[in-house]
A and B are shown apart, each in its own frame.
Chain A
Amino acid sequence: MLWLCIRLPRLLPEAGIDATGAGCARLERATLERLALWARQWSSQVSYRCASAAADDALLWIETGASQKLLGDARTLQAQIAGALTALRYSGELATAPTPQAALLLTRVPPQRRLVTTLPQLHQQLAALPLRLLALPAETLLQLHGAGLRRIGELLALPPADIARRFGPETTLYLQRLTGAAIEPLPPVPLPACYDSECEFEVAVEDATALLFPLQRLLREFAGYLLARDRAVQSFRLRFRHYRQADSELPVRLSQSCRDATQLLAVTRERLAAYALAAPVRALHLEATRFVAPVVLQNDFFAREAQQAQEFQQLLDRLQARLGAESIQRLQPCADHRPEHAWRSLAIQDAGKARAPLITSVAPRPCWLLDTPQPIDPPGELLCGAERIESGWWDGGDAARDYYLVRAADGARQWVFQNLRNGQWFLHGLWS
């Protein structure tokens, strides 16, 4: 077993001076819970402890011994986790040791000595460290100092029975857990089947851009959870909690499953930029209930092509988020004789599923079609025609027309028709 301890001295800097209130304790617990789920991406054994009178800092433990084969040695892993923590914009002290208590103790020594991987090494390093680093009550530390002890090694050299008699059995137990003679029970953090996390603000946020920072945190933590569960999402929901007003919601949909924090953020940022906040926000909530298997790019011959295709899907998500889903469409022909019904547009999500019908060949068609036919004066010279189109009597869109190609005075080639029912002329397309 190898434990990495993250000591978070300033977990809630935004909470202000009054860090002891009940509200703060709740905020801290919620933050730690989110961080614990995030940390599950490296280990199935994660535990946390809130700041208390005994320990003033919030603590997070990650068992990294079992993950080393997969993720690299303890030093690499510690550097990786430190980097990920910085990316979340949390500042913490990290150390690795064979026991949780030793890892915690090592977070208080100079950085170059914060990594110990074996018990003999640990005992050797502990022996030279000053007594005041022990997580014992101040009173006990004073007594030990009074007894002439200065280094941890000197205390560990005493018979355990003597220590228990003079400083209480809890001191012995602590020392046994510190040195690995006794196992420390840590409450595990289970992975919930649905993700539900909330970021609460001390002061209501009025501007959507001010939500980007907490949003980034939420999404990075979310990505950690997805990695831990080996799952991806195709949709999730942001909920904005307001004061004295119902919550508002912003659903986020992706064209392809995703679990990458950067990509999730890119899409959500665009959605948020186009979204008008209903009222000041007191909390931001992220919720995901449906998960899919992640798309893992195989490192094979087709990797580059597959990656390009994935990048393209991500691009479509960003465009849809910015311009609106209905602004980006694919085109398909339809089996209908009336030109205005001979095509349709589809949302890109549906385009793959809908099969294009087989179209029997017709006379050449112009590239541009007008939204609605425009009434025009009878044209002079008719270059090509007539193509008679009579259709639609069954659905009310009755059409009986003769289509012609016409060259306008400015040189434009127009597709015009005469309505056979009333003799009127219309412009319907351009041979662009």
Chain B
Amino acid sequence: MQAASELAHRLPRITLSAATTLPSGLATLDAALPGGGWPQGAVTELLPAVTGIGELSLLMPALAQLTQAGRQVALLAPPCLPYAPALLQQGVDLGQLLWIRASHDAALLWSAEQLLRCPAVGAVLLWPRQIDDRRVRRLQLAAEAGGGCAWLYRPAVADRQSSPAALRLRLHPLADGLRLDIFKARGGLARAVVVHTAAAAAA
């Protein structure tokens, strides 16, 4: 009896956290994601096999949607220069986009947490050199507080480590797109989907 009431007490929280999602703009992906889109107020881990396979283009429809709605989006310590003409081509409002460089991971993660806690920030994309699950949990808490999306880019080998992120995807290049291997989805099932991003369309 006590266990049942405890469960009932916990239930609203679980359903609530799964409730808010952001459409990815890719029909096959939305169908595969719990709630029909990227989870908001949560951390999503993206593990590309290598850099330059469309791992950023995958998020472009979502970023275009957020920035056009007046939400701020921050790119934290990306591996290369985010190229303004390309972002514009994909519909991103550059007036709402921040490019932030940090000299070390501690400053980067601090900034990410601060940004995520701010309700005006719709999404934070970050490329830390290294991150442990304690810091991922802190990002998760910050995202819950602010309600924005936290997209965390990690090397492919990180899939062997456990993580408190709500959603985790491996990204494999295909000739005409990306294979997304959803190996952890809170409130959903692990599965794989194939998507065609704008980067693939260019080819």
Q: A residues touching B (Cβ–Cβ < 8 Å)?
A: 308-309, 311-312, 315, 318-319, 322-323, 327-333, 339, 342-345, 348, 351, 356, 359, 361-362, 364-371, 383-384, 405, 407-408, 410-414, 429-432
Contacts and interface: CB of A to CB of B under 8 A. Distances in A.
Main secondary structure of the interface of B (DSSP, over half): mixed
Given A333-B85, A333-B88, A411-B173, 13 more contacts: A312-B118, A327-B100, A333-B84, A333-B94, A344-B84, A359-B85, A359-B88, A364-B198, A367-B60, A367-B83, A368-B83, A369-B81, A407-B175
B119 interface: yes
A383 to B, nearest CB: 5
B114 interface: yes
Given A342-B84, A369-B83, A411-B173, A331 B99 contact: yes
Contact of A331 (B49, B82, B203): B82
B55 A432 contact: yes
B111 A308 contact: no
B80 A430 contact: yes
A431 to B, nearest CB: 4
Contacts of A367: 56-57, 60, 82-83, 86-87, 90, 199
Contact of B98 (A329, A384, A429): A329
Contacts of A366: 52, 83, 86, 199, 202
Interface residues of B, number: 51
Contacts of A339: 83, 85
B89 interface: yes
Given A308-B119, A323-B107, A328 B80 contact: no
Given A312-B121, A368-B83, A322 B57 contact: no
A311 to B, nearest CB: 6
B51 interface: yes
A327 B201 CA distance: 33
A369 B80 contact: yes
B14 interface: no
Closest 3 CB pairs of A and B: A411-B173, A430-B52, A368-B80
A342 B85 contact: yes
B143 to A, nearest CB: 15
A364 B202 contact: yes
